[in-house]
Amino acid sequence: MNVKYILLAAGALMALPMAAQETYQDTKLVENELNGTARYVGMGGAMEALGADISTMQTNPAGIGLFRKSQFTLSGGFVSQSDVHNPLRYQNAQIKIDGDATKASFDQVGFVWAMKNGHSSFLNFGFNYHKSRNFDQILTTANLLNKASLNKLSALKYNEGLSGNGSMAWNGVDDAYAQLIKPQDVSGKSLMDYYNGSMFLFGQCQYGYIGEYDFNISGNINDRIFLGVTFGIHDVNYRSNKYYTEDLEKVNNEDLQSNNWESLRIDGTGYDIKLGAIFRPIADSPFRIGLYVNTPVFYDLTQRSSLEVNLTQPQSNNRQSSTNGGAYDFKVYTPWKFGVSLGHTVGDYLALGATYEYSDYKHIDNRINEGSQYDPWTDSFYDDSSSDDEMNQDTKLNLKGVHTVKLGVEVKPVPAFAIRAGYNYVSPQFNKGAFRDGSIQSPGVGYATSADYTNWKATHRATLGIGYTISNFFLDAAYQYSATSGDFYPFMPYENKNNAEYNNVADATKVNFHRHQVLFTLGYKF
């Protein structure tokens, strides 16, 4: 593939109203956080066998079948991120990202209508809204660069197209740099030059949420078998603002900097179906076993992004700018989720719960919209899509199965007062050596306006909670601490086996994400 073809292909990608998603963006849509009622959060979410909490509707819908009274709940609170370095100072440079480390959050509202239809059987209906993902995060980091830079990656990709040894995909970042560092004729070839970097600063403010609206029907048979189904609608509202700057080698004895600003948003909806069951294997024992399965969430989404790149010489106030961006529609189908849980109560003063969930992230299906298709049988049009095989192969190489373990306990020293505690472990989703591949021939890469990525590791959550009941009203409070660490990279690694001068590798930079949540639930039973 020659350079002319690469540039024409890049222009075509920016114009087409169809594309596919990208592996690292996918993970934002798949991972569910621990959120819901304060009782559910306080017990670490380990209630998929215990049931009788509105939040079980989002995982094991059979849990709603254990209600004996109708109920209404409303939940909200505050979310705060610690270890935020804003502004970030590194050597003689500084960046500041606009964003609040502490925000109020509306997290849940729902009801259950319990209907007795036999001596010991109920048919229950429920609705629940909860925030399944809170995107609020400020991430700032910095590190040295050893003769590597983002513009060098673009130049290497550009020049490789002339080598006859294959080609790497071209995206919005590469196109922006090609506008600034225009290729020059060298030995009859139009080669793109580059500037090595010495250090970088990075800042990102993410915000938004995924709101989930669940509609449930459930019931029980003789108080021994509980069955339920939930239909869910997912509303995606993701926003991100990024700033990335590099100190580059001097030009005419003057310092040179590269500054990138990206604004990105993803909007859309999805739907899924959840099926669940709870069994009491021993008639005279409260011990129960829960099983559930959640179908993929079938997302239909739109991404819009804009990018501005500047090359600046501060001493002479010389600046060159280029812009890029675009909008496209795409689909993502998340993987199936499977869960098994155990629950047991002792009298009316102790409840114990444990849950295990598994979802294989390798089987995320990135799909390319193919536009409206005509069905002659129904004389109507429908939107069709097909799997993006290149990106799905990238997903299989970079992601793996994720295991989630939830443990929870509730103790009531007196009938009206409860104390709760919980713990979650979520295994890493990225394989060792995973990277955001900006070279594969996929529309999801062609529309990219950034190159950074973070390989997040395991997540640990610890929770505490209390509850108080007076008459038909109850008030619950919970605290959740979530911690994860990761390795940040400003761009993908590029290594040339024949000439080390053309290597472009940035070392991993350690980053952390620590979040505190305080949650309150007001409920009424009737």
Question: How high is the mean pLDDT of the chain?
Answer: 91
Q: What is the pLDDT of residues 95-130, one digit of tens each?
A: 888 888 999 999 999 999 999 887 778 899 999 999
With beta carbons less than 8 A apart as the criterion, state whether 421 and 42 touch.
Answer: yes
Per-residue confidence (pLDDT) for residue 353, from 0 to 100:
98
- Residue 78, pLDDT above cutoff 80: yes
Q: How many domains does the chain have?
A: 1
Q: Which pLDDT score is estimated for 382?
A: 60
> Hey, CA dihedral for 374, 376, 378, 384, is it positive or negative?
negative
Helix (H) or strand (E) holding 40: helix 38-42
Q: Give the pLDDT confidence of 144-188 residue by residue, as tens digits.
A: 999 999 999 999 998 887 655 556 788 999 999 999 998 777 666
Longest dimension (CA), the chain: 90
Report residue 240 as tokens.
Answer: 């991100």
Residue 377 sits in which domain range?
3-525
136 and 82 Cβ atoms separated by less than 8 Å: no
Domain of 21: which CATH number? 2.40.160.60
* Residue 361 reports pLDDT greater than 60: yes
Q: What letter would DSSP give residue 17? A: S
CA distances from 132 to 211, 213, 281, 318, 356 (A): 6, 10, 32, 47, 18
pLDDT confidence of residue 187: 66
Residue pair 356/341 in contact by the 8 Å Cβ criterion: yes
Write out the two tokens for 179.
């506008």
pTM of the predicted model as reported, rounded to 2 decimal places:
0.91
Are the CB atoms for 397 and 431 separated by under 8 Å? yes
Q: How far apart are alpha carbons 422 and 411 in whole angstroms?
A: 12
Q: Which residues pair with 99 in a beta bridge?
A: none
The one-letter code for the residue type at 402 is V
What's the average model confidence in pLDDT over 297-317? 93
Contact 312, 319 (CB under 8 A): yes
Number of H helices, E strands in the chain: 7, 23
Task: Return the half-sphere exposure (C-beta side, CA atoms, 13 A cut-off) of residue 391.
Answer: 28
Identify whether the C-beta of residue 277 lies closer than 8 Å to the C-beta of residue 289.
no
pLDDT of residue 16: 41
pLDDT, position 132: 97
Distance between CA 223 and CA 285 in Å, rounded?
11
Q: pLDDT (tens digit, 9 = 90+) per residue, 27-70?
A: 999 988 999 999 999 999 999 999 999 999 999 999 999 999 99
